[in-house]
Every structure is written in C-alpha cells, then in structure tokens.
Amino acid sequence: MKKSKIIFGLLFIAFIGAFFACEETEKVGPTITIAVIGDETGWRGDTIKYLVTWSEGDKKIENLTITPSTAGANTSSTVDIEITSDITSYEYIYVISGQAVEGTISITFTIIDKNDEIDEEIKTIIIEEAINIFSYDVTLGSPRSGSSGTPCLDVDSQGGNAYSSANGLGNAAEIDIIFFNGVSNGYTLSSPTNTEDLDDFSDLDILNWSVLNETNLKTGVSMNFDGIELYESNKLEEAYTEATGNEVLKINLIESAGQIIAFKTADNKCGLIKSGTASPEFGDASTDATFTISVKVQQ
C-alpha cells in the first residue's frame, strides 16, 4: 500500500510537470508579413515601398520597429511606433540616399506583443546604378569619300551605328545626323531634313530617302558634358532646353575640339555631342574628311 502511494505521488508530480511544460510550449506569438510594392532594386533617389501586416498570437500587438542597415535620404527611415487597435497595417517607404553606392541595404522589420514575444523579417534592397544614357565615341567620314566614308549616324543607338553614304538610303529610318565638310559650311553636323545642303552630295542620294528624320540642334550649351553621369538622363533634356542657341537643322563651321552641341531627335531623345579630332584640320574643306565626336544620348 505504501509503495502504491509513492508511485501515485510520482505520477501526480510527473503529470503536473507535463501540464506546466505544455502551458509553456503552447504560447503563440505574433506573425509579421512583408509585401514588396514594386521593385526592391533601385538607384539614388528611388523609393522602395513595403506593406507591413501582422496577426496576433496570445497577446495584443504592442510595437513595430523598422531598422535599415543604412540610413536613407528620408529622415524617417527608422521607424518605432506603438500599435493601437485602429492600426492594422503600415506602409514603409525607403528613399535611397543621393550618396548611395552599389551594394545592398538590409531592413529589419520587427513586431512585438504585450508578452514580449517577437517576430521579425529581413528584406534586402539592391542598389544598382541605373544606366539610362548611351555614351560612346564615333568617327564619321565625309560623304564625298564614297563608300569608305561613314557620314550617317544613328545617334541614339548603343555604340552609335554609323552608315556609309551608299547604305544611308536603305537605313534612312535609323539615321538622325549626317556629317559633311563643305567649302562654305566647313565641318558640319546636319539633320537629314536639311536637303538643301545634303543634295549637293550625290553619294547620299538624299532626295530618294524614304524617311527623313528631323533632328534639331542647338549651341550655347552650359552643361558640363563630362560631368553627366550615365544615370542622369534628365540632365540631357535640361541641357537641350537650357541651351541658348536657336533650334536649327545644322551646326556648321565647327572649328575646334571641345565644342558642345545639344540635339533632340525625331523620337524626342535628347543628347549632347562634343567635337573631337578632325582630319584634315578644322577649316580645311577637303573632300575626304573624318571627324571624331563623343556622344551622350538618352536611351
């Protein structure tokens, strides 16, 4: 009998221990859910948006904290708010700093309930330079140099496709600028619609082109060509708008390297041209001339 009481006592203690152990393991904490609104990849000045939602466990949600590994451009990039019954979700906006470099930013989202139970999720923003400018150097050849010259330029193509006079006719829809070196005009960059001058070059056969794209050109550019980064497409439009010269169909008498010309193509792509080397030298109206230019143009 005595032995039975001892066994019963041990079983009772084991039951109580198991009961409280179950009590401890059955605590249910909160759950946090993060949805990305849009894209998690961006560059300087871009906004990355998240929608934060949650569900309660045993206790009411008490607090939400959001902590990025690197501060954004906005002053509220770190969040610490009390959750009340009327708050059921939170939209978090992270603005990528204007000084950001390529890499990643981790953002930790943490929810805490009144039982100090927590749930957290980490999201990663990818910082990538958003290249939206084509930048290249190209050498153009006078149309008077026949099939060996490449006077016709598809200016808003990647790398700058240059066509010979003979191939201009078949690629007319792609061509935005034509180079020539004339007795009175000197080194000249021209819109294909400037047929008055271009008709002088029989190799071009300009009057038989099926398409003549109108490219407007301007001088009086104050923007620093070399200072425009490849993600600053908007600056090319600003440079064209702010240039003090009139919109014309040709810029002639180009007399030195480093001259900056703004342009806008028929499909509204803005860009800048910087004059480079010339052979023969500027001012020589040779029928066989080459002209190297540097181009930055909106993609």
Report the 3 state secondary structure along 48-113: EEEEEEEECCCCCEEEEEEEECCCCCCCCCCEEEECCCCCCEEEEEEECCCCCCCEEEEEEEEEEE
- Asked if pLDDT for residue 166 goes beyond 70, the answer is yes
What pTM does this model have? 0.67
- Asked if pLDDT for residue 60 goes beyond 70, the answer is yes
Domain boundaries, the chain: 31-127, 133-298
- Would you state the pLDDT for residue 70? 84
Q: Which pair of tokens denotes residue 141?
A: 């050849």
Lowest mean pLDDT among 72-86, 166-180, 237-251, 255-269: 72-86
- d(CA 57, CA 48) in angstroms, rounded, equals 29
Question: Which CATH fold topology does 31-127 show?
Answer: Immunoglobulin-like (2.60.40)
Lowest mean pLDDT among 19-33, 81-95, 183-197: 19-33
- Would you state the pLDDT for residue 92? 95
Span between the terminal Cα atoms of the chain, in Å:
94
- Would you state the pLDDT for residue 101? 84
Q: Which pair of tokens denotes residue 246?
A: 């009139």
pLDDT, averaged across the chain: 89
CB 178 within 8 A of CB 141: no
Q: What is the arithmetic mean of pLDDT over 49-67?
A: 94
Q: What is the arithmetic mean of pLDDT over 7-16?
A: 52
Higher pLDDT, 159 or 149: 159
- Asked if pLDDT for residue 145 goes beyond 60, the answer is no
Lowest mean pLDDT among 123-132, 182-191, 225-234, 258-267: 123-132
pLDDT band at 74 (very low <50, low <70, confident <90, very high): low
3-state SS class at 255: coil
